Chains A and B, each alone.
Chain A
């Protein structure tokens, strides 16, 4: 116990904690996965899932079933449960639940912008967006030609607006510091951490880069937005305090570290410089700051391994892989994440159970997608390459 949560938590959060623990009991077990892995067709998978919580969402789907349809319907179930919890939540739990969806919001923004750059139909792109990350003006993203327009026309009215300040140039940052010395404030972060005053914020917006959107800029924008989101979420959880702060700090630190490793591996062989790569790492986590120094200079997977093996939690992950191999790294990270998420349910009276449940459901949907793809491609022998058992 970290504080006196037991005295007051159930007043506002008890009902929803009970709801989410009930939802948790509906997660698929190892026996369910063993049955699914033995299916011959997607219709067999649908038949097995009809006996689970996914049954009502799949029963009306006509045959032949497609893997994307299966994933879409399973995601709809998650969205319905999330909306039910959000509708019942009060502050600060409602804000916490909204934070969980900002990652999907960032993915949707990048999807729309990238698809528009490739001259795709906006309606087609909207159908591919994750439902948890939708907001009212998302279709207007197709009009933006550069970062300034992106912010000014659309993102200024969304929860992502404060995170966009990370994308401004260094010249504008100097202007911000100058204005701070004059006594103004800088608007940033959901909780207005940096104080009120819109004047400096206006200056930073006006002077925002006019660079056109291209593939590299969009990728930098994606990672910068996500970095700002993780740091803001981390600050919010620290402000909540108690068990929520302690457990969420661990979970978000792991997420930040995993993102750092993925950015490093995926940027090997690209034009991203070491300095730019380091700027994409979050400013918290087990690897901050010395691990980031080592990751920034890595040129291959073996150097990443040698840097990560200095940290005991990640040494266990990399010990499962042979030298030069990176295929099983994703599964190893997902397994470690699932272990940590399940442990969060061992304690009561904190909000981390909601975050853990959403992430566990997303992992379950990933498992179902993988099993469906293996069955559809007649590769059942390799289905256990990426399935992560939750229980």
Chain B
């Protein structure tokens, strides 16, 4: 009887030890699942970046095709003597569009379209360019514009926006003036296509930077996990 009681107690102690061991094991598994969740999130972010990158590549290809086709249409309409490379301006002049690169955490590219030489004008064209909403790098500036408009009042912001849109339109006409002042609407649509292609290129650069950043993080996590195991 005493032996049976001892064996029961021994069994109970063993079970308790096993349950304690299991409890300890579960406690040690909780940090590991959180790490896996982080890795999963990084992988999803990477896959999203790749998907957007491929989509933008396809969009760029179709935009460029349309641009070249419109250029051929413009040459058909206006004649080869009016639309050819010999008319491009070789005089020294400032760039109508430039790229800004921010390298805080990840590289980020921002396109400043139709910005003039004057810094004030450049700021206006960046902040008030409400007509160019399709570019993702421009959306942040458009958001800044709307915030600023809320602070200053609607009329001055609208007037500023209108002035900037006029300036952008003048810059567009000025850049086409190398082919003559009265150009075919097809040449204007060519300009629009290549302008869109430039925006896509900047978006592709940003998507690629995001993709590479996600990939580096995933690779870093895998190296850490390998070190822990060994």
Contacts and interface: CB of A to CB of B under 8 A. Distances in A.
A71 B84 CA distance: 13
Contact of B186 (A129, A215, A327, A373): A327
B86 A111 contact: yes
Contact of A119 (B79, B91, B173, B185): B91
Contacts of A330: 76-77, 184
A129 B77 CA distance: 17
A362 to B, nearest CB: 10
Given A128-B81, A265-B185, 20 more contacts: A108-B81, A115-B87, A119-B91, A120-B87, A124-B86, A128-B86, A215-B177, A219-B180, A222-B180, A223-B182, A263-B182, A267-B181, A269-B173, A270-B173, A270-B182, A272-B182, A370-B76, A373-B75, A385-B73, A386-B76
Contact of A267 (B72, B84, B88, B182): B182
A114 B182 contact: no
A305 B80 CA distance: 27
A322 interface: no
B226 to A, nearest CB: 48
A369 B80 contact: yes
Contacts of A386: 73, 76
Nearest to A280: B182
A223 B184 CA distance: 14
Contacts, number: 92
8 nearest CB pairs, A to B: A266-B182, A219-B181, A373-B72, A118-B89, A215-B177, A128-B86, A119-B90, A330-B77
B153 to A, nearest CB: 31
5 contacts: A130-B81, A265-B185, A330-B77, A369-B80, A386-B76
Contacts of B55: none
Given A111-B86, A120-B86, A370 B79 contact: no
B82 to A, nearest CB: 7
A300 B65 CA distance: 27
Q: Chain A contact residues (Cβ within 8 angstroms of B): what range?
A: 35 or more
Contact of B87 (A111, A327, A382): A111
Given A111-B81, A128-B81, A266 B90 contact: no
Interface of A (DSSP majority class) = helix
Contacts of A115: 86-87
A270 B81 CA distance: 22
B68 A377 contact: yes
Contacts of B68: 377
B183 interface: yes
A262 B77 CA distance: 10
Point out which of A262, A266, A379 has the most chain B C-beta atoms below 10 A from its C-beta: A266
Contact of A379 (B69, B80, B183): B69
Interface of B: 65, 68-69, 72-73, 75-77, 79-82, 84, 86-91, 173, 177-178, 180-186
Given A215-B177, A270-B173, A370 B72 contact: yes
A243 B79 CA distance: 31
A26 to B, nearest CB: 22
Max chain A CB contacts within 10 Å: which of B75, B77, B79, B182? B182
A182 interface: no
A212 to B, nearest CB: 14
Contacts of A266: 182-185
A43 interface: no
Contacts of B82: 107, 111
A219 B182 contact: yes
A385 B180 CA distance: 25
A382 B69 contact: yes
Interface string A284-314: 0000000000000000000000000000000
A160 to B, nearest CB: 16
Contacts of A373: 72, 75-76
Contacts of A118: 87-91, 178
Contact of A71 (B69, B80, B180): B80
Contacts of A327: 73, 185-186
B81 A377 contact: no
Nearest to B181: A219
Contacts of B69: 377, 379, 382
